[in-house]
Structure 1
Amino acid sequence: MAASCFRRRIAAQLSNVLEMPPDNLMKSIHAIPVSKKRQAADFQFFVSSVLDASKLPKSDIQLQTQRLAEQLKCDNVVSEISTGEGRINFTINRELLAKSVLQQVFQDGSEYGIKSELFSGLPRRKILIEFSSPNIAKKFHVGHLRSTIIGNFIANLKEAIGHHVTRMNYLGDWGMQFGLLGTGFQQFGSEEKLKLNPLQHLVEVYVEANKAAEEDETIKKMAQDFFRKLEAHEEEALSLWQRFRDVSIEEYVRMYKRLGVYFDEYSGESFYQEKCQEVLKMLDTKDLLKKTKEGTGIVYLPEKGDQSYSAVVRNDGTSLYITRDLAAAIDRMDRCYPDTMIYVTDKSQISHFQQLFQILKLMGHKWAERCRHVPFGRVQGMKTRKGEVVFLEDVLDEASSMVLERMASTKTTKELVNPLETAQRVGLAALIIQDFKGLLSSDYQFSWDRVLQSQGDTGVFVQYTHARLHSLEEKFGKVSQVSHINPACLQDPQAISLIQHLLRYDEILYQSSQDLQPKHIVLYLLALSRLAAVAHKVLPVKGSVPELAEARISLFQAARSILANGMKLLGITPITKM
């Protein structure tokens, strides 16, 4: 009997008094967050959730709370019932609490929290998530880091809950910039440099071509002509573009391996160049496609009585970003039949996706209502010791380099088989935890000193805690089952606080699954690390009598298990030595 069973027991009591079905009350019963005050109660029920609080003064709500509490009775599960402001608090029998939570953690393993009643009624869906989406022929920019790790987190969480997830990388591999790059390579490119360092050379070529186009109208016209040849699938232009695409994907796969990210499908804007014509025909057939005086194709978007519009085709007939996105959305729905499509991009594209979804609705695609854009803010002030950062590889190298230096200067650092791999995992954890601590839509200021602190709310601290708890298991042995553990040995305040925190894990997962914000899990893991550190300090295993030692080991093992589960959802690989 763990969180779900305790909630059901409390809901059954409330149901008898309120004459409401228990299922209607379950989601109004919450595990109480652990605080420094060390509240004794484990669950709370807000009476306003079953009353029309807007029509009652506070004094009446409190009176109703008191009356309701008086009708409830303690039993062999609930040992104490008390009231707070508009809420009823329930304290679970202490030994039953300890035994039930640990048994549930050991029994469910990686599915602890997910097997909760909170998820049992949720229908399993097919979900397509588009994320990362770098532009080919360019190095992996730090701007794509957030899309990559956020999309990976959402995919991990949705999969863990039981949904069927398709992870899609929609490459920026089409558009007028490839006219500029193609022309630039013909003018300034080097086959030798392309073989030695492909993406670096293509970046240099693009910069040179862009500068030349600004100074020479001929270069600009040549670039437009190259893109027209590309859209017409002329062999020479297409062959050069294909080479750029192949070398780019090869480089990206290497970067994704470092990040621990994979994709089920690589797609790209280029796939939809021909399908764009079908989209334009559909828009024309539905009388949605209009022309400006300059010949640009537009779609009017009626909003709040005003007439705004979105351009969907250039006056020379070439496609635009939104045209390709319209074709891609329709194709994915026809081919994959997802119940939901989620797009993970920075918040500068909010308007683009609003227009995209609105045009799809105007075209008669009701499923557009099941499309969702998850926007995120910008990272500011990201620098390495060499200066301003542009490329992700530099950031990952800097993170692992700084972690290695700090590990080398710390006396407690264990001897590691592969210190570089450990440093890379700690460095990535530091970046992910820092990124996920706030609302995704918020911009944040980056600081290496803050990110890599070994104490405090950092990924380094979370990794250190996991390694420390793992070393306990290595030293004293793992507990295989907890049925014979004496729960009376786990009644210290620090042990109870840790158990109460484990009790809340399913609610945290549920909250993140609803709003797709990883911060709930991050804050939970940081609190879990702090509580585990305190308990480890005051509840020694070494020197304790066998019965007490085994009980404490089982508690620390449960804490490490949940810590590892949560880290993996965030995209972090837990380390076992540090």
Structure 2
Amino acid sequence: MACFFRRSAALQLAKACGQNEETLIPLISVAPVNRRQCVADLRVSVSHLLQSGAVRPDGDLQNTTHTLARQIRPDAVVEEVIAGRGVIHFRLNKLLLAQKLLDQLRSDPDGFGVQSEILRRLRVGRTLVEFSSPNIAKKFHAGHLRSTIIGNFIANLKKALGNEVIRVNYLGDWGMQFGLLGSGFERFGSQEKLRRQPLEHLFEVYVQVNREAESDASVCSAAAQFFRRLEQSEEQALELWRHFREITIQEYKRIYQRLGVEFDHYSGESFHRAQTQTVLDELKSRGLLKTSQKGTGVVDLSETGDMSNYATLVRSDGTSLYITRDVAAALDRKQRFGFDEMIYVTDKSQSVHFQQLFHILQAMGQQWADRCHHVAFGLVQGMSTRRGEVLFLEDVLEEAQSRMIHNMRQSRTSKELEDPDLTAERIGISALIVQDFKGPLISDYRFEWDKVLQAQGDTGVFLQYTHARLCSLLRQQDCESSCSDFSPLLDSRSVSLLQHLLRYDEVLLQCATDLQPRHLVNFLMTLSHLVASAHRELPVKGSSAAVAQARLCLFSSVRSVLANGMRILGITPVEKM
């Protein structure tokens, strides 16, 4: 609904400067709410108008601002135009603001914001998101958790904005690590332990064989031999590998289900091992693959052709590398899925790898390579459970759930719940997600359980508490949340909520532009703080029918936007806690 008001302001501005309103709409933004003072609803930067050629300078910037503001005529929608410092502010008709905004939220709560005019200008198509991508038999560290929840957010956001989304989990299920694991399991693996605790036992075997390899060269030789057997498709080696892969995927699916994360495709390096030769043949035919002095196959990525920067695609023994299989995977996905963009979500240590990958694809003549993106994230320090260092994602989920159950039992306000364990897990997961999304993804941060699970402050627990409190309010009232008289919503608390809701589409546009969830987290936190103040000062119970109905309509609309935003982040809203 922001588009209605943005268009109204653009129309009045267009009349003043003789421009097409369509070109001015993207330049008009919603002013952030200031809880200390009343602010105008919309604004436009005169510098941006000058840069776009929409207006001509009239002396200095401030003089141009005042001249233009005087030329804009208020109307039934825009009640007042104010010249600020290089900015023109628009005050809207607040009664009309409440009516338009809340009517739309009542009639189409799921479409609010995501169907905005400024978002329809975004390119929409088929988006492939590769995320999570754990390595079979290696510990599922905090980085895999970050990749999982960040990738899920990006996929949710793209889908909400109208894209067709393909979610891919690209498992680390090939390479020399499997030489170690396979040879190690043949020596001291246990089928019984593998049935009972598959991920834990594979990790035990992997740790043990790595320890022995440090002091026994024959272990390394056996590992290299086992990997060659895999590369040569020897059936016995492949059978063991297939068994490891299948039980691991089933275990991951169970854990992802707890997180509320789904994948359309479980892929992996192994899927593309047979295609690597085709990639190498094409690179040779294009004169891109060269043999180094060490006997490895490399692609020169330097601008001057002096091999100052290169990528290795083949070992001296002829076996493929991770990047070789990534090139094959990218080419295969383009052919199979016909994506318009592909997004990889991994930690920042792999930034150079993806620069090389995209460079190689471009060198191969793949023009779509510039629509491949790497979303990098930083490291998490200090994530551990009561049992010690985090080994598997399930350890983190168990810890979040158990700590949250403890906190809920200590709280006087906790309600009787049908399934307290499920509620605790959902709140705990919310806390993990919000903690991770509060800052720039590229930043490292220190993880502290006590801060993450606080009920007060900008935490996932606070978001869930706000949602549950609104649900409780709506359950307790007999009157419907529909409204015909919006005049009781002209107080400062109600207006602040309405003004903030008006920003929702701009926040989603920010997230879509840089794929950073912090914009949405900050929006939802501010919304929760605003509604907490409104809940204290704008009672429903004891008010007249008209006032109660209007306030209930406002609180219902806030709950709807809060829930929609939480779901995009990957959070399942709880109705009681």
Q: Render the CA deviation track for 1:475-509: whole Å, top value 9, x for unaligned.
A: 00473533x1x121011111110111111101101
Kept in 1: contact 2:481–2:556 (CA 8 A): no
Tell me the CA shift for residue 303 of structure 1: 3.5
Q: Report Cα offsets for 1:502-548 as digits up to 9, x if no partner.
A: 11101101111111110000000000000000000000001001110
Q: Per the alignment, in what secondary structure is the counterpart of residue 137 of structure 2?
A: coil
* Cα deviation, residue 53, structure 1: 9.8
- CA shift digits 1:54-86 (9 cap, x unpaired): 999997111001001111112211111111110
For 2:200 and 2:422, the matched residues in 1 are separated by: 26
CA contact 2:12–2:74 (8 Å) conserved in 1: no
Give the distance between the partners of 2:278 and 2:438, measured in 1 at CA: 43
Q: Deviations over 1:166-218 (max 9, x none)?
A: 00011100001101111101111112211221111111111111111221111
Aligned positions of 1:352-371 closer than 5 A: 352-371=353-372
Whether the 8 Å CA contact 2:58–2:67 is kept in 1: the answer is no
Secondary structure at 2:301's aligned position in 1?
strand
In structure 2, distance between residues paired with 1:403 and 1:269 = 38
The residue type equivalent to 1:450 in the other structure is: K
Distance 1:301 1:24 in 2: 41
Displacement of 1:36 in angstroms is 2.2
Give yes or no for the alignment of 1:339 onto 2:340: yes
Q: Tell me the distance in 2 between the aligned counterparts of 1:304 and 1:530.
A: 56
Equivalent position of 1:396 in the other structure? 397
Aligned to 2:107: 107
Task: Decide whether the 8 Å contact of 2:94 with 2:490 is kept in 1.
Answer: yes
Contact 1:478 1:557 survives alignment (8 Å): no
Query: What residue is the counterpart of 1:289 in the other structure?
Result: 289
The Cα shift of 1:317 comes to 0.7
| CA positional deviation for 1:426 | 0.3
SS of residue in 2 equivalent to 1:51:
helix
- Structure-1 residue corresponding to 2:76: 76
Q: Distance in 2 between matches of 1:292 and 1:561?
A: 60
Q: Does 1:386 align with 2:392?
A: no
Secondary structure of the residue that 1:69 maps to in structure 2?
helix
Structure 1 match to 2:477? 476
The answer to whether the 8 Å contact 2:467/2:562 transfers is: yes
Question: What SS does the corresponding residue of 1:420 show, helix, strand or coil?
Answer: helix
Q: Deviations over 1:202-256 (max 9, x none)?
A: 1111111111122111111111010000001101100000111011101100110
CA distance in 2, matches of 1:165, 1:509: 17
Match in the other structure for 1:171: 171
**Contact 1:130 1:168 (8 Å CA) reproduced:** yes
Q: Match for residue 446 of structure 1?
A: 447
Preserved contact between residue 137 and residue 245 of structure 1 (Cα < 8 Å): no
Match of 1:559 in 2: 558
Partners of 1:208 and 1:425 lie apart in 2 by 36
Unaligned 5+ segments in structure 2 are: none
Cα-to-partner distance string for 1:347-374 (whole Å, 9 max, x where unaligned): 0000000000001111111111111111
Give the equivalent residue in structure 2 for 1:65: 65
Matched, 1:298 2:298: yes
Q: 1:511: which partner in 2?
A: 510
Question: What is residue 28 of structure 1 aligned with on the other side?
Answer: 27
The alpha-carbon deviation at position 141 of structure 1 amounts to 2.8
Cα root mean square deviation, aligned:
1.7
CA contact (8 A) 1:131 1:151 kept: yes
Decide whether the 8 Å contact of 2:31 with 2:39 is kept in 1.
Answer: no
Q: CA deviation at 1:377?
A: 0.6
Q: Are the aligned partners of 2:35 and 2:496 in contact in 1 as well (CA < 8 Å)?
A: no
Contact kept? 1:138, 1:248, Cα under 8 Å: no
Partner Cα separation in structure 1 for residue 290 and residue 487 of structure 2: 76
14-23 or 152-161, which moves further after superposition?
14-23
Equivalent residues of 2:379, 2:443 under 8 A apart: yes
Amino acid at match of 2:140: F
**Aligned residue pairs: how many?**
575
Residues 412/146 of structure 1: CA separation in 2 closer, same or farther (3 Å cut) = same
Secondary structure at the aligned position of 2:60 is classed as helix
Partners of 1:158 and 1:126 lie apart in 2 by: 9
Structure 1 residue identity aligned to 2:505? D
- Which stretches in structure 1 are left out of the alignment for 5+ residues? none
- In structure 2, the residue matched to 1:275 is 275
SS of 2:302's equivalent in the other structure is strand
Secondary structure of 1:166's counterpart equals strand
Q: TM-score, normalised by structure 2?
A: 0.97
Cα 1:372/1:540, change in 2 over 3 Å = same
- Three-state SS of the structure 1 residue aligned to 2:415 is coil
CA distance in 2, matches of 1:122, 1:359: 28
Q: 1:194 maps to which residue?
A: 194
Shift of 1:298: 0.6
Instruction: Render the CA deviation track for 1:244-287: whole Å, top value 9, x for unaligned.
Output: 10111011001100110000111110011110000010111111
Q: Contact between 2:481 and 2:550, CA under 8 Å: does it hold in 1?
A: no
Q: Percent identity?
A: 55
Aligned 8 A contact 2:33 2:39 in 1? no
